[in-house]
Structure 1
């Protein structure tokens, strides 16, 4: 695989929502889109000397465990430890491969903790040796940030939470209702721990949802340079 192929695949992956990854613990009832995790980790690893980040995939670290008290959203992994599989190209003549790989691994694990993901393993694969670092590739186009219109009281409650930037519809309607369950989809800001915002959003949604409903929250995007909870992204 050539470097350009790797970058093309990395860009394509960055545009797909991917799996829904459990945030926090089984008692939290919140998930994060794999795309948001990939983007956060890509920004982190891009600063590693002699490494060019490529494809990154996150899955369960072992057999599926108990689903917990909340329904797992479609395309989501049940709560439990996660495993990162990451690819990168290395610049020949720079640092040793083990040294570069160890820095990449450490940064991936640190970023996972900051997001609130329980990553237990990080497996790395060097896909190419480069004579020199390639010129920076153009960033993928930002997602459509036109907030979906909704008058749903659950959505309005979530939008009042500090750190919530907008409700979103990347996976379906912003508020998805089924008998006995409510799922809310939103974007959050990067200036507050993602898992804390997601927990607060779920608590607000649960307070506004019908009594007894199992309420879950899916974070589809982590936005930088914004402050939520003050009207940003309101319908």
Structure 2
């Protein structure tokens, strides 16, 4: 039970699976990974400001469209996103000016570095800091935020829990024993590791053993689908990396496929430059 509880908490802590790019791009990033990258970008651009709660979600769910490939369980459909965040800043600069610079940094990191289709960045000043020393390190100051993000993830997980359980269970059931045991050591996994910008295989969805999961689809809808989970290297555009991964994996898994080949990529982490691959 303890292991199950830990696994559930880990899944919920990832937050939503946010679309990267549009419906044709077949890529997502966990909210946890996206928020971490945004925090580091904001901290580097504005050392005198501190982000509080950060949320990412569809700007208008009514206009979202399904992805062109089978989506991972609980993944959001494709559509413009809205970023909302609270922040605190020192009194050294007028708050509107700080908000403008922070908005620009978040927009650049989200749209250009990650590849999120941002529609708006809404900021709210919630506190004034006495001086630069009050800002502290990013890691030290974000514990309350991690709690808030976990609660957001729990909410997202509750909404899609039934769907996630059904789809992931069905997907696992269609795999052969050989695939389940060796898929991360296969040709597709080696191809993924070789793509520039891929820091490592980083499975967190569906258990730690399945970074690359390939399955043949049903007779009613023939084809072959592969889901890949990766960490990207910070500074590389996550959307560009996922596009390269999809292209490489499609070629690697096409031989003998019973129909169209599709690939979905989930970015589960953005690794700072210099982090050792695992």
Report the TM-score range of the alignment, normalised by the length of the smaller protein.
0.7 to 0.9
- Tell me the equivalent position of 2:192: 158
2-structure distance, mates of 1:94, 1:165: 38
- Tell me the equivalent position of 1:221: 269
Q: Determine helix, strand or coil for the equivalent of 1:109.
A: helix
1:49–1:100 Cα contact (<8 Å) kept: no
- TM superposition shift of 1:160: 1.8
Number of corresponding residues: 211
Q: Equivalent residues in 2 for 1:112-151 (5 A)? A: 112-114=110-112, 115-132=114-131, 133-136=134-137, 138=139, 150-151=184-185
- Tell me the equivalent position of 2:153: none
The 3 A distance-change label for structure 1 pair 137 and 187 is closer
- Tell me the equivalent position of 1:70: 69
Q: Equivalent residues in 2 for 1:161-176 (5 A)? A: 161-172=195-206, 173-176=210-213
The 3 A distance-change label for structure 1 pair 225 and 134 is closer
2:43–2:138 Cα contact (<8 Å) kept: no
- TM superposition shift of 1:194: 1.7
**Further displaced range: 37-46 or 218-227:** 218-227
Q: Where do 5+ consecutive residues of structure 2 fail to align?
A: 1-9, 143-181, 218-222
1:163–1:227 Cα contact (<8 Å) kept: no
Q: Where do 5+ consecutive residues of structure 1 fail to align?
A: 1-12, 141-147
RMSD: 2.8
- TM superposition shift of 1:134: 3.5
- Tell me the equivalent position of 2:163: none
2-structure distance, mates of 1:35, 1:226: 20
Q: What TM-score comes out, normalization by structure 2 length?
A: 0.67
Q: Equivalent residues in 2 for 1:52-131 (5 A)? A: 52-64=50-62, 65-91=64-90, 93-114=91-112, 115-131=114-130
Q: Equivalent residues in 2 for 1:183-198 (5 A)? A: 183-198=227-242
| Higher radius of gyration, 1 or 2 | 2
